[in-house]
Structure 1
Amino acid sequence: MKRLLFGFLLLATLCQAAPPPITLGSPVSLPAVGLRFRAFREMKPMPLPMPAIRAERRGDGAKLLSNHEYWRFRQTAGVWFNDSCVIRVGTVTIAPFEKPELKPESELLAEFTELDRELPEEQMKKWVRQFAASEVLEVKPFSQSLYGCSAQVYELEERDGAHQVAYLLSPRTDPLRKVLLLFSIEKSRFDDRAERVIRQTLGSVQFVAPRRETVSLAEGNRKKGTPEYEASRARVIQSIRNFRDWWYVETDNYIFVSNQTDRRAMTRLRTELENAREVFADYFPLKIPLQSVSVVRIFNKRDQYKEYVGADMQWSGGIWTPARRELVISPLDRGARDSVQQMIMRQVAFHEGFHQYLYFATGEAQAGMWFNEGTAQFFEGIEFRTGKGIVVLPQYIERTLTALFDGDRVHDIAALVKMDRTEFYGEKRNVNYPLAQALVYYLWKGAPVAGKPEYAQIPVRYYDKLVETRDAGAANAAAWEGVDLQQLGRDLSRFWNDSNLIRQSIRYQPPAAPAAPPAGRGAAVGSRR
């Protein structure tokens, strides 16, 4: 009986664990490309990851992108995925590049011009190889007759444990127009059934007239920025241009892209992040023109966020990625109350939003860990009262910070302010984060009420020097020049053990910073819609 029961449980477990079969799903549409087809069941659209900055050119400081990554971004019309398959749609509009290089975006824009002729056979193979990032093993005609179009099959090398095959499609009425459907299917899932479903997908392909882009009145009236700024904005819009469920909206300083269905909650978050940015600028005013739009990408579902950010960051609730120049925010897993979800998303937006603001405000400098993380934590305490954003000290944060200094404990501030990324995020990260926050809060709001107003100039000196030199080491030296760090450690401990001073600091608001000069496209970077 036990054996029978065990066998039944094992069979039930295996049946439960078996992935669902690959079957045909709902129709999808790429209006800008003029293409319709049916993807696989339960496939979700994936916005295109932004091309990453790979290096900086010495001398002029130009940001360098991979020409392969940038070319692939420009040639990708859409991506759909589920647990075992990915379909990537490519449009053959730019010739393949000669060799992998790192170049500024301005050079890539000039170099990657639209094709005005059909690519020769060998060039087409090269295009497919670069798009799929895999070697082409064989090219052959597609045996099945398709409605209104012809097709070629490109057999590809396996990549990352997935079977890959691509189909180059062209409408018979316009043979110069070519679209590639690249299928990547887990090797263990690729079988006769999967091949049958791929054929059904190809049989569902319809070419229609591409939808022409129109310029809205709001877009026509929008104040334009620097060429770099406009190029960054165009990349964001391109990353979602073919997805019906994705939308974007611009505010004074941001462009938000999202597939959130609850637009009321999104409206509130957009308003609060704009208001939080005013607080960032009160403490750290803009001193140089902005070269990039501030991008905020917000997902509707947690699994979409995890797929987008990759395996290393799936634990996070939001992340600012300087290389891709976007702030990405995740919803919580379903089950949490809406009010809790909104509170956490708001804290993530303010924290990561400051990282984003600081990066652009300092000319894309890499700030020191104590300053960058401590200040981002500090701004998680922004609250809006009578329309004005101020920094307070929520009770749960106060409890965390005061616990660091129980029994008049004195921390090594000299070690904290010298920490690099590896050390700060190391085994003591759970201490380093709140300690940096306790320090920054004290410098801005605790020291003035404790009779040490000179400490409040430390973050100002740091920021000013970072903007001037873009050198975190020089900024650190300027910030701490003449400061007795051992004495600062004792003063810090004394403050966090004095409840009266803490109460006074919560009521205290630092004087407003001087007005900021015009940004990259005037004081308002963007236009309201």
Structure 2
Amino acid sequence: MNDSPRLLALAAALVLAWAAPAGAKNEPVLRKPAELPGLGLKLKLLSESREAPLPPPNAWTRTYGNGRQEEVYLPRDLWVAEQFAGRWRDERGNSLTLAQIRRPFPEKLSPEERVTRAEYEAGAAATAAPDWTPEALAAWAAVFADAKAARLEPLRKTFYRVPQIIGFALEGQPPTRLCYAFRVSPPSGAPAGGPARWCFAMLDTAADADRNKVAATLLQDFFPSIEPLRGAAAAAAEVGPSRKYQKTTVQPAERSPEYLASREQVVNSIRNAKNWWFVETEHYLILSNLKGMTGMVKDLQAHIEVLRRGYEKLIPPRAPITAVSVIRVFGSPEEYTAYVPADSSWSSGIWMPGRKELAIKPVDWEAGAARENTLSIMAHEAFHQYLEYALGRIAPATWFNEGHADFFGGARVEGRRLRIEEHPNRAPLVERLAAAGELDFRTVLRLTQEQFYGGGDAVRSRNYAVAWALVYYLRKQAAFESASPYAGILERYVDALWREKDRDKATTAAFEGVDQAALQRDFTKFWRSPGQRSGARRNETPAEGRL
């Protein structure tokens, strides 16, 4: 009788018993070697983990009585972003966040009171750098971990390259969040007498993880693995465009200080993320952690610049665009869902004005329908992104914004040529509404954002379809009719919005003197007429042609 199978089974059982000790549930495993040039450290991260980028600080618009506007932020968001070094999540539900302790939270600012960047910098500059006593580190940890307070729990155990470790018990956070400040010795050969360098580790564990076992794992696997990178490795922190994915070389152009600052912030967000890279076009920075799929990335680069020229031809910017336009393409649908707001997790792409990013979910690029749908979504969302900057962050009426976004959602890019077709998802519903005598553009003109997007899927789809149908008719048909009384409606809208800074007043001004009943009749007639629609398809708006 051959005992080999039994011996193999016994060996396998012993290996499994060693790899998954009794009682182990979802405790983190920290055995993944990594070099983090931006942090200047070599250490071990969560096994089987992926980088989870920190979203940019959310921006709001503060409007004054004279119409002047400023971007404002929560100071804690700005402060965390400055010191954040990276975050990694594993499949067990654990998350490891690393940071470099650079400066205390500005003492004269409230974490929840919105400020401009200039106000934040002034507050930070007025706060003296501490000696980083344990008490100062505890105050720092409480703000970073979003806790009410942090109680000191110094660790007696130290390591050759980590001579001091301080743990914190957090008030107002669950016990599944473990936080430590640790001091890192300088690399061999570094000048003596320099300031101590403190870093921070925050481990959020799965709900069923044993806190004591997790703490033991950190002392056994994480802290002993830490050592400073030497000169050449640390210098590799400089991040440049991906040679593999960059479609064409972008010629250096004169950039505003605002553009350079926003670009640096975006690039810094992936400095310690080994699997993330970026490519740069004339107007866009595309971040991604896609592996392979070079065709998708290069197609996006080519399409977005042609679309941008179309946007500018149709609605020229009223204010200089000084910020970089960011597109983030995720490597997996799960990462996309975890990154975007929860109420948008169903989407395939979304412009997030607060974060100033357009996020895109990955698809099978070889599947023609999925590819075309993603390009249409990008064209739609990128128009929202463009209009935000082109109008100086003045919010237009939803019918105007969504109607034009869907107008470009029907765009087809071939080389450097752009043509606008009927939107494949909107036209069938518009046809049905027109045939039933229910296609009334006046129903969407005064809707607030909440009303436009609310009311359920059927109502929302109808609002989108009517807004698109109106913009398409005015752009592709009325604009080409001799002496049409409707030809200047959309141009008047932009002029009035820029002048009045009020979306509703702009709508009133755009339709002033227009016989809306006559417009409604002509509008419905167009969508019932195959001949007129066929002729409109051949008309080239300023956004179309070779760009």
Whether TM-score is above 0.5 comes out as yes
Quote the residue 2:105 is aligned against.
Answer: 96
CA–CA distance in structure 2, aligned partners of residues 146 and 313 of structure 1: 45
Aligned ranges 1:76-225 → 2 under 5 Å: 76-82=84-90, 83-98=92-107, 99-100=109-110, 101-112=113-124, 118-150=131-163, 151-157=165-171, 159=173, 161=174, 163-173=176-186, 176-199=196-219, 200-209=221-230, 210-211=234-235, 222-225=252-255
Aligned to 1:374: 403
| Cα pair 2:409 2:423 within 8 Å, conserved | no
With normalisation by structure 2, the TM-score equals 0.83
CA contact (8 A) 2:32 2:45 kept: yes
Work out which of the residue numbers 59, 69, 76 in structure 2 matches 1:53. 59
**SS at 1:307's partner residue?**
helix
Q: What code does the residue aligned with 1:507 have?
A: R
1:141 deviates by 2.2
User: Which SS does the other structure have where 2:103 is aligned?
Assistant: coil
CA deviation after TM superposition for structure 1 residue 323, in Å: 1.1
Deviation at 1:291, TM superposition (A): 2.8
Worse-superposed segment, 341-350 or 299-308:
341-350
Deviations 1:427-484 (A, max 9, x none): 1102101111111101111324666733231111112222334321232122111122
Residues 178-225 of structure 1, C-alpha deviations (whole Å, 9 max, x = no match): 100011123332344333333322232222243365598999983343
* Whole-angstrom CA distance in 1 between matches of 2:441 and 2:218: 61
Q: 1:293 aligns with which of 324, 327, 335?
A: 324
Q: Cα deviations across residues 137-169 of structure 1 (Å, max 9, x unaligned)?
A: 42122243324112111121353x562121111
Offset, 1:56: 1.0
Deviations 1:56-105 (A, max 9, x none): 15254221111111001111111112352221111111222213232221
Q: 2:378 aligns with which of 339, 349, 360?
A: 349
Q: Which amino acid aligns with 2:120?
A: L
1:360-381 CA-to-partner distances (Å, cap 9, x unmatched) read 0000111111000111001011
Name the structure 2 match of 1:64: 72
Worse overlay, 427-436 or 285-294: 285-294
Check conservation: 1:149, 1:171, Cα contact below 8 A: yes
Cα pair 2:250 2:281 within 8 Å, conserved? no
Match of 1:236 in 2: 266
Asked whether the equivalents of residues 250 and 282 of structure 2 are also in contact (C-alpha less than 8 Å), the reply is no
User: SS of the counterpart of 1:102?
Assistant: coil
| Unpaired runs of at least 5, structure 2 | 1-23, 187-193, 242-247
How far off its partner does 1:25 sit?
Answer: 4.1
Q: Is the 8 A contact 1:68 1:97 kept in 2?
A: no
Can you list the C-alpha shifts for 1:270-289, whole angstroms capped at 9, x where unaligned?
Answer: 11011011111111112321
1-side partners of 2:239 and 2:50: how far apart?
28
Partner of 1:411: 439
Structure 1 residue 510: deviation in Å?
2.5
| Cα distance, 1:512–1:202 mapped onto 2, change above 3 Å | closer
SS at match of 2:48: coil
Give the structure, 1 or 2, with the largest relative contact order (CA under 8 Å, sep 6 or more). 1
Inter-CA distance 494–57: structure 2 relative to 1 (3 Å threshold): closer
Quick one: distance in 2 between partners of 1:425 and 1:312? Answer: 12
Kept in 2: contact 1:84–1:189 (CA 8 A): no
Residue 430 in structure 1 maps to residue 461 in structure 2: yes
Are the counterparts in 2 of residues 157 and 163 from structure 1 also a CA contact under 8 Å? no
Q: Is the 8 A contact 1:95 1:119 kept in 2?
A: no
Task: Sort the Cα spacing of 1:133 and 1:296 in 2 relative to 1 into closer, same or farther, 3 A.
Answer: same
SS of the equivalent of 2:297 reads helix
TM-fit CA distance, 1:120 = 3.3
Give per-residue Cα distances to partners, 1:368-397, cap 9 Å, x unaligned.
Answer: 110001110010111124622121225554
Larger CA deviation: 504-513 vs 458-467:
504-513
TM-score, normalised with respect to structure 1: 0.86
- Counterpart CA distance in 2 for 1:467 and 1:357 is 15
Shift of the 170–219 alpha-carbon distance from structure 1 to 2, 3 Å rule, reads: farther
Deviates more, 1:83-92 or 1:318-327: 83-92
**386-395 or 482-491, which deviates more:** 386-395
- Are 1:117 and 1:176, in contact at CA under 8 Å, matched by a contact in 2? no
C-alpha separation in 2, matches of 1:503 and 1:389: 18
Retained in 1: the 8 A contact 2:309–2:543? no
SS of 1:415's equivalent in the other structure is: helix
Residue 4 of structure 1 is matched in structure 2 by none
Q: Deviations over 1:11-48 (max 9, x none)?
A: xxxxxxx9755323422332111122222233211112
Where 2:328 maps in the other structure, the secondary structure is: strand
Q: Which moved more, 1:427-436 or 1:135-144?
A: 135-144
In the alignment, structure 1 residue 455 sits paired with structure 2 residue 461: no
What residue is the counterpart of 1:248 in the other structure?
A: 278
Q: How many residues align?
A: 493
C-alpha distance 247-276 of structure 1, shift in aligned 2 (>3 A): same
Question: In structure 2, do the counterparts of structure 1 residues 169 and 434 end up closer, same or farther at CA, with 3 Å as the change threshold?
Answer: same
SS in 2 for 1:393: coil
CA contact (8 A) 1:413 1:485 kept: no
Q: What is the RMSD computed on CA atoms of the aligned residues?
A: 2.8
Work out the CA distance in 2 between the residues paired with 1:386 and 1:129. 53
Task: State whether residues 239 and 271 of structure 2, in contact with CA within 8 Å, keep that contact through their aligned partners in structure 1.
Answer: no
Q: d(CA) in 2 for partners of 1:432 and 1:220? A: 40
Q: In the alignment, residue 41 of structure 1 is paired with which amino acid?
A: S
1:337: how far off?
Answer: 4.9
Identity of aligned residues (%): 28
2:264 is paired with a residue of what secondary structure?
A: helix
1:297 Cα offset (Å): 1.0
Match of 2:419 among 350, 369, 390: 390
Cα pair 1:154 1:165 within 8 Å, conserved:
yes
